Structure 1
């Protein structure tokens, strides 16, 4: 199939797809983002250090815990 012969049809189909997509996405409401609330206790000052607390359960190897990606002894990458 020679695309140059059917370029007008390709243009009309692309125009119809863009027009219908514009019409359908206009009905979708816009997202309203609000800024995150910053607590005073999380801001570091000269006298107070900011502390990060991570609350999570450690995974066992059976559950998909940390895996060793490469041996430390092996130098450089091997392709």
Structure 2
């Protein structure tokens, strides 16, 4: 049943039973602490001089342009 809602509920139940009620809170906190503040949501300027939002905009434009290259008769 992996990959189904029922399987996910059973897995969550098992994890909480094995590792305690705060299992998901603990692993979420670990991820948050290891984060270095970067990513597309960041307002900090990176080495390229852009904020995360600006970088996401450029990346999205590249992806959109690539996906429209299928018909060269435009």
In the superposition, the TM-score normalised over structure 1's length comes to 0.27
More helix by share: 2
Greater RCO (Cα-Cα under 8 Å, separation 6 or more): 2
